[in-house]
Amino acid sequence: MIELKTPAEVEAMKPAGAFVATVLDALEAHATVGVNLLELDKLAHRMIREAGATSCYIDYHPSFGGSPFGHVLCTSVNDAVLHGLPHDYRLRDGDLLTVDFAIELGGWVADSARSFVVGTPQDEADLQLIRATREALDAAIAVATPGHKLGDISAAIGQVAASYGYGVNTQFGGHGVGRTMHGDPHVPNTGRAGRGLPLRPGLVIAIEPWFMAGTDEIYTDPDGWTLRSVDGSRGAHSEHTIAITDGAPLVLTAPVASPAAG
């Protein structure tokens, strides 16, 4: 069931979104060459505890997961493209890392992901892949306004992917966000413009384009969670939780602006 939030409820979701952005900023700054993925998970866990938030991941066990997730952060490296289970791995120069993070704070959930290269980029193709997911996210957010339909969001993502020559896997995509992490509607990463659910103020969704450089097919790692590209090509993922309003969309997980230097 799709639930529309009142303006007051959308306002109440802002602290959760701001906290997710703050944690992702801290993780990106900490994810340097030699840092262990488990160390990143511990950092996120500590920040959750200090904020009085609750992880959406640690006990998460959907039908596609091999067991309860057991960590508070998804860390997907290189050909691991989604749901990367943190493990004993030290980041190397040039790794393409995606961190995906969702929590509940004050009764409301926020969910966001970002990809970046650790250390010195080794291949321009990695930067292009990351750039493509960010452009797709921006294009999708731009049409997330009343008068458009859900298909316009999906089509905007798919058009950016096609412009770069990337295929699109439709097994996983965006979703409704509210009191729980995953709700209706499902937001595919490709689709037909002008089709589907009319976008109305109060709809809160996570939009999350994720692309792979060489394929649109994935398989599940023996850990029961990590999804990898079938050809070993790298993946990137950009995600924001947004609220549709009477005007421009509100990006709840946008990075918090730093105070201007004075």
Domain at 115, CATH number: 3.90.230.10
pLDDT higher for 192 or 66?
192
Predicted confidence (pLDDT) per residue in 206-248, tens digit? 999 999 999 999 999 999 999 999 999 999 999 999 999 999 9
- Over residues 37-63, the mean pLDDT reads 96
Q: How far lies 10's CA from each of 111, 125, 134, 199, 202, in Å? A: 14, 38, 24, 15, 7
Q: Is the pLDDT of residue 74 over 50?
A: yes
Any binding-site annotation on 50? no
Any binding-site annotation on 100? yes
* Positive/negative CA dihedral, 11, 238, 26, 42: positive
Question: Mean pLDDT across the chain, nearest whole number?
Answer: 96
Any binding-site annotation on 239? yes
> 116-130, 138-152, 195-209, 244-258: which has the minimum mean pLDDT?
244-258
240-243 and 204-207 strand pairing: antiparallel
- Burial, 138: exposed, middle or buried (Cβ in 10 Å; 0-12, 13-18, 19+)? middle
Check if the beta carbon of residue 193 is closer than 8 Å to that of residue 153.
no
Q: How far apart are CA 10 and CA 96, in angstroms?
A: 33
The confidence score (pLDDT) of residue 173 equals 97
256 located within any domain: no
The confidence score (pLDDT) of residue 257 equals 64
Q: How far apart are CA 255 and CA 18, in angstroms?
A: 7
182 located within any domain: yes
The confidence score (pLDDT) of residue 262 equals 35
Considering the chain, what percentage of its residues have pLDDT values greater than 90? Answer: 95
Predicted confidence (pLDDT) per residue in 76-113, tens digit? 999 999 999 999 999 999 999 999 999 999 999 999 99
The confidence score (pLDDT) of residue 64 equals 85
Q: Is the pLDDT of residue 258 over 80?
A: no
Domain membership of residue 112 as a residue range: 7-251
81 located within any domain: yes
Any binding-site annotation on 240? no
Any binding-site annotation on 175? yes
Considering the chain, what percentage of its residues have pLDDT values greater than 70? Answer: 98
260 located within any domain: no
- Over residues 120-140, the mean pLDDT reads 97
Q: Is the pLDDT of residue 168 over 70?
A: yes
Task: Using alpha carbons, select from 99, 88, 136, 91 the residue that is nearest to residue 23.
Answer: 99
- Over residues 44-58, the mean pLDDT reads 98
pTM of the shown model: 0.95
- Over residues 52-67, the mean pLDDT reads 93
How many distinct structural domains can be found in the chain?
A: 1
257 located within any domain: no
Q: First CA to last CA across the chain, in angstroms?
A: 49
What would the 3-class secondary structure string for the chain be? CCCCCCHHHHHHHHHHHHHHHHHHHHHHHHCCCCCEHHHHHHHHHHHHHHHCCEECCCCCCCCCCCCCCCCCCEEEECCEEECCCCCCCECCCCCEEEEEEEEEECCEEEEEEEEEECCCCCCHHHHHHHHHHHHHHHHHHHCCCECEEHHHHHHHHHHHHHHHCCCCCCCCCEEECCCCCCEEEEECCCCCCCCCCECCCCCEEEECCEEECCCCCEEECCCCCCEEECCCCCEEECEEEEECCCCCCEECCCCCCCCCCC
Confidence of residue 260 (pLDDT cuts 50, 70, 90): very low
Task: Using alpha carbons, select from 42, 177, 48 the residue that is nearest to residue 111.
Answer: 177
93 located within any domain: yes
